[in-house]
Structure 1
Amino acid sequence: MLWILYLVFISIFVKAEQIEERRPFFINCGSDSVTNAEGRKWIGDSLSTGNWSLSFLGIMVSTSSIKGDAEYKFLYKTARIYNTSSHYNFTVPPGSYCVRLHFHPFLFAGFNPNDSLFDVLANNLKLVSNFNVSGEISWRNLINNSSSTSLVKEYFLNVNSYELLIEFLPSSGSFAFVNAIEVIPVPDAIFLGFVRKVGNSGFVAPLGVGGHGLETMYRLNVGGPVISPSFDQLLWTKWETDERYMFSVNAASTMTNISNISYVSPNDSFFAPLLVYETARTMINNEVAEKRFNLSWRFEVDPNFEYLVRLHFCELYYDKPNQRDFRIYINNKTAADDYDVFVKAGGMNKAYHEDYVDAMSMQIDTLWVQLGPDTLASTPGTDALLNGLEIFKLSHNANLAHGPDKINGDEPGAAYKRHKSKSFLAAFSAGFAALITISLASAALFFFKRRNVANQEKPLGWHPLSLHEMMGSTAKARLAKLPLISTSSTPCNRIGRRFSLGEIRAATANFDQSLVIGSGGFGKVYKGEIGNGFLVAIKRANPFSKQGLTEFETEVDLLSKLRHRHLVSMIGYCEEENEMILVYEYMANGTLRSHLYGSDLPSLSWKQRVEVCIGAARGLHYLHTGAETCIIHRDVKTTNILLDENLVAKIADFGLSKPGPTLDHTHVSTAVKGSFGYLDPEYYRKQQLTHKSDVYSFGVVLFEVICSRPVINPTLPKDQINLAEWALRWQRQRSLQSIVDPRLDGDYSLESLRKFGEIAEKCLSDEGRNRPTIGEVLWHLEYVLQLHEAYIQCQVDNSCTKSSLPFADFSFILPDTNKVQGETSSNAEGETISSLQGRSVQSLFY
């Protein structure tokens, strides 16, 4: 045995002698040249050295031009494509490393990056699974409202041996590609020490890259500009700005101080450059009477993982303790209270960071970071401050990928394990020949079985209707023969017609892009034609959308139960070949927003706008009161109000809808969902959803109808960015006519406009209990229309004076809806006709 140990020590010693001190590798993939840029030397991967090698050369591809404003243009003109498994082998000393993978898809020969699907592993750590670069870029652009054409994936891991293998494993029939790779040694201290568990009474636990792999999800310079990698000579990290992730940018102010900033300890210099600590965000309304507002950032993340949230602090203003106390919330749980940056750092202009860890459940894909006033603190001004923010995903069972764990029958880290086996055998080949033979035979048998299983398994699919317990062969046969609209209440018939994928392809000319009439988080919407020229809208799920399955289920479940003149009708669906497709009635005049701004469509008159609002209110009123149970839409906005050929308004998109509270409850506790600019602040603060949340969103719609501008416009001055806040100030000054859409050109009565503004103002009350019901809003909108029609009639008769108006000018007093309804009669579709003191008014809803 001594000679065996001797061989081991000799092998390790020789390997160590071959390695220089820890240094970075910057690899330009698909290149055979050396490029010096941003203080770094990028080596083409065709020029492998003794310190690294490439197992399979694959295919070198290049392009003469870069699409879009790519940051690393000099790198992204080349790439290396693999149609079989391959790996880069780096000879490195043990320790912690940062690995960055650069992707910039471009077309070359027969390789379309949209068809690329692959896994990437680093040693035994799975980084991505069934990864499609184009889909990931599209999804990030959608949620971040950006237009990037490239993607950088950054990871941290620990290397225990002297080898780092980065493997690329393409899916069967597909290929993998990469444009550039960075391998950078990092100080072990960057992820060592203790971290606080959120919501666990301050419990602290050890953190280390040795026990986890980490993926960088977000890195933000809070309140400051983009910091390019050239400003960080240690790790070459890029810091984004934080505006796009803030819940309300104009609710925070920025602070800058570039004098005498230093780190609390020398190790703190590893975590962020001083530029991060020179800027910060603070609260803009810290002196209000009721301190309820928080600085809030929202991030899309992968569910079912733990996340490390790293907050960077530096007090830039106060030079004494107990001047700024606040609380830190992560995922709406208290991470720290009575937090004083000055006290924690031991002075002003001293930079440091705090780490927190929290776990996301399988149902939650949004991570919130909030800083807000500590109402119990005795400080002069309860305020909050943050300089920088990082979010890292922690690996689970050696996996960072959000997807299946196997591909092509190969185990995660197979190449890494094979390579280590070869190194081991080189040292012990004489004594273990028989063992090698047995191991190879077992591996071959294992691989063969795995491959058979993989060939038998279908690709990852959605299987969206499994929850309905109605997809047996008999039910499928019945559904395929259903008419276009099914009104039967039996469970097996309630969904409507099931279209084949062939019918959908024929209706959309094989998803012709010229037929796209809209797009969103779920996917694209196509104009289609079925039967004898019957026009439909066909919504096709993007397989890379994180909204897909839940929204599909919700829409199918709700719309199969609802029929109303002011709700968009679902005609049917398609579920074949992993597609999720919904078929709706076609709305010829598109969205309400497209008639207000952002298109060349003709402007709506004041009367048409009021009638559209009335129609939308009728649809919401039916959801809240006319359905079997109260339904809260949760995403009321002008893009979800559609207009048919007669400009009749209909509510659409029920993917976020939720059943309302039962009789013995006042609200539904749920994670915050909705659209920025329309979101009810009370729902956001308390995570308590009520039908009054829809009323708030509808109030924003009313102001949008008046002003014809986006609800959030970051290009405007600070006090105008948020439409609701801006319009509400003008309304409270009783000067709403100053910001009315100029295209209306005075074609409205001031009385009707004033009443319309009062309705919107009531809808935007901060507390739900002070808002009207949607039925009350509807009643007053009817009154607005009557005021306008009376005004028009006076104009025709040339007899317009205030005294000639047939309706009294009463203040906004919410009516008793029980009295308002009076005698009602209902038909099968839920129609209700109301009367008020013997005078006929328009029906509350159809």
Structure 2
Amino acid sequence: MMGSVGSRRFICVLLSILSLVCLSSGFTPVDNYLIDCGSLTNTTVGNRVFVADNSASNFLSTPKNTFANASISVTSGDDSPLYQTARIFDGTSKYTFLINQPGRHWIRLYFYPFVSGSYNMSNASFGVSTLNYAFLSNFSVKASVVKEFSVNVTSKNLVITITPSGNSFAFLNALEVVSVPDELITDDGETFNPVGSFKGLSWQALETVHRVNMGGPTVSFENDTLGRTWVPDQSFLIQDNLAINVSNIAAVRYVAGWATQDSAPNAVYGTATRMNSDNNPSSNFNVTWEFNVQPGFQYLVRFHFCDIVSRNLNDLYFNVYIDSWLVAGVDPSSIANILAVAFYMDFVTAAMVSNKLRVSIGPTNTISGAYPNAILNGLEIMKMNNSLGSLSGTAPAVANSSSKKNVGVIVGLSIGALILAVVAGIFIMFCRKRRRLARQGHSKTWMPFSISGGNSHTMGSKYSNGTATSLVLPGDPEENSTNMIGELSPQINNFSHNDDSVSAAQFEASSVDGLSGVSMSRVFSQLVKSEGR
């Protein structure tokens, strides 16, 4: 009997250990392309291996292979080995990756400019795009930076195009294309200006602009199941004396239906910045952070919460603000009726007018007897693509070939309508002249004009008193003569509204012999010139 009890206990302990191992291992991406650009050997960064550039050559189409290698260490940090080499792109180049599992993917681009031979990478200017989205345009970089994007890939291949601007060049130190859990970005978020909901987030291309660990240190990609880096919040605080850092990582609980370790790691949910309201129950202020953003774009703002400060349920109630808008009243105890449950809230801004975005937390005055306190554990600010599919500037992400065809049709129809209007105007002018001269009893002589070298003819007229001439030209403009207009123009220019003494002899039929193929536009230009005197 004792043995069976011991066996059951052993099995329970074993299952608990296995559960912890599975939980800590996190998400395993189906697509996991890591390339150390310009490197001749594989590079290990943390627990990930970036393959040598030549091993990834089958992914790349480029007009020229140019590798750059820094002679000295160019930066410091966990990912510094990736900045020792780079690939140079002198022309438009494309990486093509086979997508084994459709869905959202990270696209991370590593940049660090250094000088290699005639290439000063600080002077590079270029764009980066996919088939549907423009990530960067006229991009230049002066210091190390990782540009992180995520897109929902539904096709079998993901093509990343790198395009130098003008006569410049492009470069890249490292590249990642990695699957993302589908549940990381849900389809909807709350709006506050106006109040409502935003549908379609899962189809948005996103650029991570800020990812911040409130109240704690930097969390490197090695300690994040999705390879993300979280930076401390101190540099974003407007009045740091109003805030206190707290930490209780062991208290964090992940409950089904709410946040997971893929949402944010324990090191984020287990630290927080809170109001410095100790020993002052009448405290009434907000803790505020300010971030740089690009005007003209909407942003997905994700707040991460975990009540690691309360000793009892229902002790903590507070408000959350974006700029001057109250976006939520937060009651952490209502999430799962237990303390320290990790969760997050998503809000979508209107298109930004300012280049600054502020987020604030502060006490609520709607709950009687609530002690003034507020916390924030983590924050992510992600730029959303605009209506043109761009995350950089206002240029369209892709020139659509069908739209080009439509433009061509519209232009063609417009030119055709203009030609018809011109011809109709000439015909009406001719008819008026004819009627007027007929009433005056003047004689007239008709002669045929051959148009565009064809057999169909229309009539040109000459009058002993009046203005010549009126043409209908339905022929092929490509067959027009470029020489006959020179012979015709002096004759036409001799006629004027103000000169009634012009005789028919000034414009004899012999003067227009062989006018087959005369360009309508050239004849009309001479008519206009004559009429405009």
The normalised TM-score by structure 2 is 0.67
Query: Are 2:378 and 1:388 aligned?
Result: yes
Query: Are 2:284 and 1:318 aligned?
Result: no
1:224 matched residue in structure 2: 216
Structure 1 counterpart SS, 2:207: strand
Residue 267 of structure 1: how far off its partner (Å): 6.4
Q: Distance in 1 between matches of 2:258 and 2:70?
A: 43
Q: Distance in 1 between matches of 2:370 and 2:201?
A: 39
Query: Are 2:76 and 1:69 aligned?
Result: yes
Q: Distance in 2 between matches of 1:267 and 1:378?
A: 28
Contact 2:317-2:370 within 8 A present in 1 as well: no
Contact 2:211-2:229 within 8 A present in 1 as well: yes
Structure 2 counterpart SS, 1:114: helix
Residue 184 of structure 1: how far off its partner (Å): 0.9
Contact 2:133-2:391 within 8 A present in 1 as well: no
1:255 matched residue in structure 2: 246
Contact 1:307-1:394 within 8 A present in 2 as well: yes
Q: Distance in 2 between matches of 1:31 and 1:357?
A: 40
1:112 matched residue in structure 2: 120
2:182 matched residue in structure 1: 188
Structure 2 counterpart SS, 1:64: coil
Task: Choose which of 39, 49, 53 in structure 2 pairs with 1:45.
Answer: 53
Query: Are 2:370 and 1:376 aligned?
Result: no
Letter aligned with residue 345 of structure 2? E
Contact 1:122-1:166 within 8 A present in 2 as well: yes
Query: Are 2:155 and 1:161 aligned?
Result: yes
CA RMSD of aligned residues (A): 2.5
Larger radius of gyration: 2
Task: Choose which of 299, 316, 328 in structure 2 pairs with 1:336.
Answer: 328
Structure 1 counterpart SS, 2:238: coil
1:306 matched residue in structure 2: 298
Check 1:199–1:382 CA distance in 2 against 1; reply closer, same or farther (3 A cut).
Answer: farther
Q: Distance in 2 between matches of 1:57 and 1:91?
A: 23
| CA deviation map 1:233-272 (0-9, x unaligned) | 3x10001000000111221111111224221226622211
Query: Are 2:95 and 1:95 aligned?
Result: no
The correspondence of residues 782-793 of structure 1 with structure 2, limited to 5 A, is none
Contact 1:307-1:358 within 8 A present in 2 as well: yes
The correspondence of residues 548-587 of structure 1 with structure 2, limited to 5 A, is none
2:319 matched residue in structure 1: 327
* Structure 2: runs of 5 or more not aligned: 1-27, 410-533
Aligned residues: 378
Check 1:221–1:291 CA distance in 2 against 1; reply closer, same or farther (3 A cut).
Answer: same
Contact 1:314-1:345 within 8 A present in 2 as well: no
Contact 1:199-1:335 within 8 A present in 2 as well: no
Contact 1:323-1:379 within 8 A present in 2 as well: no
Q: Distance in 1 between matches of 2:151 and 2:233?
A: 26
The correspondence of residues 698-717 of structure 1 with structure 2, limited to 5 A, is none
Contact 1:213-1:398 within 8 A present in 2 as well: no
1:204 matched residue in structure 2: 197
Q: Distance in 2 between matches of 1:402 and 1:48?
A: 28
Q: Distance in 1 between matches of 2:302 and 2:97?
A: 30
Check 1:328–1:345 CA distance in 2 against 1; reply closer, same or farther (3 A cut).
Answer: farther
1:82 matched residue in structure 2: 89
Contact 1:345-1:352 within 8 A present in 2 as well: no
The correspondence of residues 478-489 of structure 1 with structure 2, limited to 5 A, is none
Residue 397 of structure 1: how far off its partner (Å): 2.1
Structure 2 counterpart SS, 1:349: coil
Q: Distance in 1 between matches of 2:202 and 2:71?
A: 40
1:347 matched residue in structure 2: 338
Residue 320 of structure 1: how far off its partner (Å): 3.4
2:41 matched residue in structure 1: 33
1:244 matched residue in structure 2: 235
Contact 2:62-2:92 within 8 A present in 1 as well: no
Check 1:21–1:373 CA distance in 2 against 1; reply closer, same or farther (3 A cut).
Answer: closer
Query: Are 2:259 and 1:265 aligned?
Result: no
Q: Distance in 1 between matches of 2:147 and 2:317?
A: 36
Letter aligned with residue 145 of structure 2? L
Q: Larger strand proportion, structure 1 or 2?
A: 2
Check 1:56–1:28 CA distance in 2 against 1; reply closer, same or farther (3 A cut).
Answer: farther
Query: Are 2:366 and 1:359 aligned?
Result: no
Residue 116 of structure 1: how far off its partner (Å): 1.0
Q: Distance in 2 between matches of 1:258 and 1:171?
A: 47
Residue 71 of structure 1: how far off its partner (Å): 3.9
Residue 280 of structure 1: how far off its partner (Å): 0.8
Q: Distance in 1 between matches of 2:282 and 2:212?
A: 29
The normalised TM-score by structure 1 is 0.43
Check 1:222–1:345 CA distance in 2 against 1; reply closer, same or farther (3 A cut).
Answer: farther
Q: Distance in 2 between matches of 1:227 and 1:303?
A: 29
Residue 209 of structure 1: how far off its partner (Å): 2.9
Q: Larger helix proportion, structure 1 or 2?
A: 1
Q: Distance in 1 between matches of 2:336 and 2:200?
A: 21
Contact 1:277-1:387 within 8 A present in 2 as well: yes
| CA deviation map 1:272-314 (0-9, x unaligned) | 1111111111110265465431111100100011111111111
Task: Choose which of 43, 48, 66 in structure 2 pairs with 1:59.
Answer: 66
Between the aligned residues of both structures, percent identity stands at 32
The correspondence of residues 622-771 of structure 1 with structure 2, limited to 5 A, is none
Structure 1 counterpart SS, 2:315: coil
Contact 2:284-2:372 within 8 A present in 1 as well: no
Residue 325 of structure 1: how far off its partner (Å): 1.2
Check 1:267–1:80 CA distance in 2 against 1; reply closer, same or farther (3 A cut).
Answer: farther
Contact 1:191-1:207 within 8 A present in 2 as well: no
Structure 2 counterpart SS, 1:282: strand
Contact 1:222-1:276 within 8 A present in 2 as well: yes
Relative contact order, higher structure (CA 8 A, sep 6+): 2
Q: Distance in 2 between matches of 1:28 and 1:183?
A: 12
* Structure 1: runs of 5 or more not aligned: 1-19, 135-148, 407-411, 419-438, 447-846
Q: Distance in 2 between matches of 1:30 and 1:57?
A: 13
Q: Distance in 2 between matches of 1:102 and 1:369?
A: 28
| CA deviation map 1:783-839 (0-9, x unaligned) | xxxxxxxxxxxxxxxxxxxxxxxxxxxxxxxxxxxxxxxxxxxxxxxxxxxxxxxxx
| CA deviation map 1:473-524 (0-9, x unaligned) | xxxxxxxxxxxxxxxxxxxxxxxxxxxxxxxxxxxxxxxxxxxxxxxxxxxx
Q: Distance in 1 between matches of 2:111 and 2:369?
A: 49
Contact 2:323-2:357 within 8 A present in 1 as well: yes
Residue 403 of structure 1: how far off its partner (Å): 2.5
Contact 1:319-1:347 within 8 A present in 2 as well: no
The correspondence of residues 447-466 of structure 1 with structure 2, limited to 5 A, is none
Residue 173 of structure 1: how far off its partner (Å): 0.9
Letter aligned with residue 121 of structure 1? S
Q: Distance in 1 between matches of 2:174 and 2:229?
A: 16
2:507 matched residue in structure 1: none
